Amino acid sequence: MAFLRRPALVYLRYSTSATYTPFLTSTSRRTFTSLLRPATLSSTTAAPFARPTLPSVTAFATPLLQSSAPITPCSSSSSSLLSLTQARGHRRKTYNPSHLVRKRRFGFLARLRSKTGRNILKRRKETGRKHLTH
């Protein structure tokens, strides 16, 4: 009968795995599009682990057929995080000189990073320039 008995460690492992439930926060369950929309206070306090409720399919059917506009608004006021990511790569509208920006865009290390930049450095060395870059 000794071969039918299991060690106590196996029972402990089964009992802990049966009662163990992983802790999931509400942010890990939210989708990317729901992160773009600001969460309402009442929905997060009432059920913090519930999935966000979505409108029915028929509510989306008619507007999608009528226009090709995106479902989520792309305005910068919808989320401060979204507006920060959109404003990073914009062009400068006015002449606002900055030595750091000039070094970052046209400096020696920036020229080394790209293939065209290396070609510029090679061409300037061949012509005998004293200063290759800014």
Tokens 């507007």, located at residue: 63
9 assigned to some structural domain: no
Residue 130 half-sphere exposure, CB side, CA atoms within 13 Å? 0
Q: Tokens representing 79? A: 């989320």
Q: How many separate domains does the chain show?
A: 1
Q: How far is CA 106 from CA 19, 89, 96, in A?
A: 60, 16, 16
Higher pLDDT, residue 36 or 74: 36
100 assigned to some structural domain: no
124 assigned to some structural domain: yes
Q: What is the pTM assigned to this prediction?
A: 0.34
Instruction: Please give the residue range of the domain that contains residue 117.
Output: 106-134
128 assigned to some structural domain: yes
Query: What confidence score (pLDDT) does residue 97 get?
Result: 87
Query: What confidence score (pLDDT) does residue 81 get?
Result: 59
- Give me the percent of the chain exceeding a pLDDT of 70: 33
Whether pLDDT at 121 is above 80 = yes
Question: pLDDT tens across 16-73, in order?
Answer: 555 555 555 555 566 666 666 665 555 555 555 556 565 555 555 555 555 555 555 5
114 assigned to some structural domain: yes
Picking from 72, 60, 133, 61, the residue whose alpha carbon sits closest to that of residue 103 is 133
Higher pLDDT, residue 90 or 128: 128
In eight-state DSSP terms, residue 18 is H
Q: Tokens representing 24? A: 């999931």
